[in-house]
Amino acid sequence: MNAAVGSAGVVLGFVSAAGGIVTIALGLLGGRRGMLRQIVPFVALVALGAVVAVAAMERGLITRDFSMAYVADHGSSKTPALYNVATLWSALEGSILLWALVLAGYLAAVTAKFRHRLDDPLVGWALLTMFAVCVFFFGLMLGPANPFHTVAVAPLDGPGPNPLLQNHPLMAVHPPMLYLGYVGFTVPFAFAVAALVTGRVGEGWLVETRRWTLFAWAFLSAGIVLGAWWSYEVLGWGGYWAWDPVENASFLPWLTGTAYLHSVMVQERRGMLRVWNLSLLCATFALTILGTFLTRSGVLDSVHSFSESAIGPLLLGFFALVVFVTVGLIGWRGDRLRAPGRIDSPRSREGSFLANNLLFAAFALVVLLGTVFPLVVEAVNGDRLTVGEPYFNRMTMPIGLALLFLMAVAPALPWRKASAETLAQRLQWPAWAGTGVLVLAVVLGARGVAPLLAFGLGGFAAGAAVRQIVLATRRQGWRGFMGRTNGGMIVHLGVVLIAVAFAASSSYDHQREAALDPGESVEVAGHTITYLGFEEDTSDPAKVERRARVRVDDDGVYEPTLQRFPNGSQEIGTPSVRSSLVDDVYLALLDPPASDGGPVRLRVIVAPLVMWLWIGGGVIVFGSALAAFPGSRRRGTEPTSALVAAGRDTSPVARRPGAARPDQERPERPERPENEPIGVG
């Protein structure tokens, strides 16, 4: 029953998406714009198909319908309720199902947003592009990634999900957040394609996609930070980021998306970087498909990746198609994408944005090469290479430090050109803040060129952001926190917190392994670790848990554990962490006692400022939310698509006399001395 209903939902989603493509194509190519308004039922049916399919799978998991192959392979009667629900995205077929659900949700949201302008060709081509992506992912579920296969003889029970995926609640949150970010970039990509096809490649389409891009970027940021937190809390190695290829796969679109959110403001202000912005958006979407290939094709051996499957070539082919089509469209519209403006001085805001973009592009290239090069070598001659942390750290560290410097300088720069006197005046207090942080770090015992540079530049960038926020709040009160300018500055503060915490925790951590008898203590970085005893818990039918009781200083008792699940061939270690704003004491149980009252072997890691990584992630999300809403000086605008529907220009520029159309070059605006929009888009 569940398999039949789920399969019907997948078929409904696929057929409806294909019907939407045909309807829009007939309307656009045949000049019958009225047909574009008939796509609403197709959108509703795509969303209904996705919801029905997901509901059928969840019902199968909850009711333990082992006649479904997916439930038989990954479900279990002993899996706790939370992880039973999360089993949907714990394996290949279910993850594609979740992707389709999120994509259908975005399709419905875009249709609802532009419901009064569905006959605009820009919106029509954007929806056609989204329908095409829907067809691909629903098509995967009709073929090699079918989640609703049935088995001839249903087993009495299943093995459950991977043990590593059912021992921390973040498993229920981290993947959906990543998917909301990954899939969310489909929306700005679709409008970029629509702008290229229709020839409306000016600044108007940027208004359509600004918030969609920002929301996708914020979700992806949250997903990456939550993934690092999950790794830190679950895997027992004491770290949170290891440049794992699948970690890199989510980081790559974040880098290009961040570059776009900065450079798009140059196009909005001066009509420049049109080719660059379109390329960044298309590259971001293409990298989400590449990341999906890396995760779900089985080409990588990672805790994040799934087993080898037949969808790998299809995903790689779709990635190649996206690259080919977008490069072709950009080349086709090359003449229209030429911008008459130029950068007048490197000491200007647009100059800083260009430098920012080049650094982000270099960062992405370094990560991409380190991730993909071993796969290319293996595909060519069969040799297996590993690119480890030393390569990534050595290559990305100078880029990261340069980005911190630009984060400090850019808010102080005006458009076109800044005098040395003006720049020095605006950077005076941020420079003092950076110097103060650097001196404090040295006084507290920090050593090493790279971490000290990170601390100093982090204080410099934080000072610049705080200065900008103070200026805005003086003028506007609490509403000074709203809008792109100051929301972007709060995001910058979150990035600074993460950068400083990363530098501190990776440079000044202390690690020790010790064998301790009951009552014995060990000193690590000023903390007293006392082993109290050992116990075994068999009360949970889903697992057997053996744990050491350890006292850290006088703050309480912590229990690092070893867990054995019914489907596991070995015990899985789960660390216990005493966290504070100053440092984390990380405890991992390596070996249980060989006999009652015998010693245990513990790994103890003391790392400073780790908690500020998670706080920084929260600050980024908060700042993104503030940046999505207009500040007090910003007036409401209609999307560019209203031009065709209403027969008039309703863009923000057109509200001023003599302004150009949104698909034409925008006139220069007079300079404002301070608080000009900067930061995330």
152-195 pLDDT, tens digit each:
888 888 888 888 888 888 888 999 999 999 999 999 999 999 99
pLDDT at 37 over 80: yes
Contact 351, 236 (CB under 8 A): no
3-state SS record for 166-189: CCCHHHHCHHHHHHHHHHHCHHHH
Choice between 330 and 375, residue whose per-residue pLDDT is larger: 330
Contact 137, 103 (CB under 8 A): yes
410-426 pLDDT, tens digit each:
888 777 776 777 788 88
pLDDT for 301: 57
Q: Which structure tokens are listed for 8?
A: 């019907």
- Residue 166's φ and ψ, nearest 5 degrees, are -140, 35
pLDDT for 631: 57
Question: Which range has the worst mean pLDDT, 441-445, 596-600, 630-634?
Answer: 630-634
Q: Which residues pair with 535 in a beta bridge?
A: 547
Instruction: Report residue 358 CA to chain centroid gap.
Output: 20
pLDDT at 522 over 90: yes
332-365 pLDDT, tens digit each:
887 777 766 666 666 777 788 888 899 999 999 9
Q: Name the average pLDDT for the chain.
A: 84
pLDDT at 486 over 50: yes
Question: Which range has the worst mean pLDDT, 252-256, 275-279, 499-503?
Answer: 275-279
pLDDT for 88: 92
Q: Using 50, 70 and 90 to split pLDDT, how confident is the model at 474?
A: confident
Q: Which residues pair with 536 in a beta bridge?
A: 546
Rg of the chain (C-alpha set): 27
pLDDT for 304: 47
pLDDT at 306 over 60: no
The C-alpha atoms of residue 337 and residue 319 are separated, in whole angstroms, by: 24
326-340 pLDDT, tens digit each:
999 998 887 777 766
pLDDT for 348: 75
Contact 662, 653 (CB under 8 A): yes
pLDDT for 389: 86
pLDDT at 246 over 90: no
Greatest mean pLDDT among 266-275, 330-339, 609-618 lies in 609-618
Q: Using 50, 70 and 90 to split pLDDT, how confident is the model at 662?
A: very low
188-202 pLDDT, tens digit each:
999 999 999 998 887
Percent of the chain scoring above 70 in pLDDT: 88
Residues in CB range of 515: below 8 A, 6 or more apart: 591, 599, 600, 601, 602
Arithmetic mean of pLDDT, 612-619: 96
Domains of the chain in start order, with CATH, are 1-167 (no CATH), 510-611 (2.60.98)
Q: Which structure tokens are listed for 245?
A: 């290829």
pLDDT for 302: 52
423-458 pLDDT, tens digit each:
888 888 999 999 999 999 999 888 889 999 999 999
Arithmetic mean of pLDDT, 268-295: 86
pLDDT for 377: 80
56-69 pLDDT, tens digit each:
999 999 999 999 99
pLDDT for 69: 92
pLDDT for 339: 66
Say whether pTM exceeds 0.95: no
Tokens 């008039």, residue?
Answer: 648
Q: Using 50, 70 and 90 to split pLDDT, how confident is the model at 657?
A: very low
H or E element at residue 513: strand 510-516
H or E element at residue 603: strand 600-608
Arithmetic mean of pLDDT, 479-494: 82
Q: Which structure tokens are listed for 18?
A: 């294909």
Contact 406, 355 (CB under 8 A): yes
